């Protein structure tokens, strides 16, 4: 996974109003921090080569949100609408995306590390390359999504829905869950540990284990 590379010393200090006021809603090579944005609707905002820290986006609607070579640190996108987003070389670090909608989005070289993404929706997406590291995805959904490369490293996945999504080659063996919502036909090729295999066998094959 290729991480965003920023020349932080040469980033300009900016405010979110700079993005709003720009005719194309475009902001490049900027450092944004310590703001709260509430119930803002903004179509197709674009961030390029930016560092965004300690931002709270409360119930915002950023349809067709676009970001490239950008890092989000300690930001809160909970309950935001980010559908049809396009993310390329983007890193979310210790961010909250609880209930965030990212349906119909495109992910390429996108990393979520230490994030809280319970109830998030990533349905009907195209995921070319994405990784989830020590991230909570409880009751989240990644349904009907085309995945080329994805990894889950020590994540909480209980009740994660992966319906109508091909799971072959996806490794969840380091993760924790009591149940996954999956199609039985798509389970083939999912990489699990022995305990998870027993659990899924009970849930979806009706197997009964004995001591």
Alpha-carbon Rg for the chain, nearest whole angstrom, is 18
Contact (CB, 8 A) for 116 and 31: no
| Ranges 80-84, 96-100, 168-172, 179-183: which has the least confidence | 179-183
Helix (H, G, I), strand (E, B) or coil at 116: strand
Rounded to 5°, the CA angle 139-42-131 comes to 40
The model's pTM is 0.94
Tokens of 122: 């990533």
34-86 pLDDT, tens per residue? 999 999 999 999 999 999 999 999 999 999 999 999 999 999 999 999 999 99
Nearest to 165 by CA among 111, 124, 106: 124
| Ranges 41-50, 111-120, 173-182, 184-193: which has the least confidence | 184-193
């Amino acid at each position: 996974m290729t991480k965003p590379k920023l020349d932080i010393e040469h980033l300009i200090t900016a405010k979110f109003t700079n993005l709003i006021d720009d005719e194309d809603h475009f902001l490049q090579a900027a450092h944004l921090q310590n703001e709260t944005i509430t119930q803002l609707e903004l179509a197709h905002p674009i961030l390029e080569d930016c560092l965004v820290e300690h931002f709270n986006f409360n119930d915002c609607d950023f349809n067709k949100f676009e970001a490239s070579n950008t890092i989000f640190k300690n930001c809160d996108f909970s309950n935001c609408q980010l559908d049809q987003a396009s993310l390329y070389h983007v890193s979310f670090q210790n961010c909250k995306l609880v209930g965030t909608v990212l349906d119909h989005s495109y992910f390429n070289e996108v990393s979520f590390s230490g994030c809280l993404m319970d109830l998030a929706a990533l349905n009907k997406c195209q995921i070319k390359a994405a990784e989830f590291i020590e991230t909570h995805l409880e009751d989240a959904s990644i349904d009907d999504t085309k995945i080329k490369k994805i990894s889950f490293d020590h994540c909480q996945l209980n009740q994660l829905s992966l319906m109508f999504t091909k799971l072959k080659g996806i490794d969840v063996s380091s993760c924790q869950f009591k149940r996954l919502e999956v199609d039985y036909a798509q389970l083939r090729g999912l990489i699990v540990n022995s305990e998870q295999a027993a659990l899924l066998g009970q849930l979806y094959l009706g197997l009964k284990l004995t001591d």
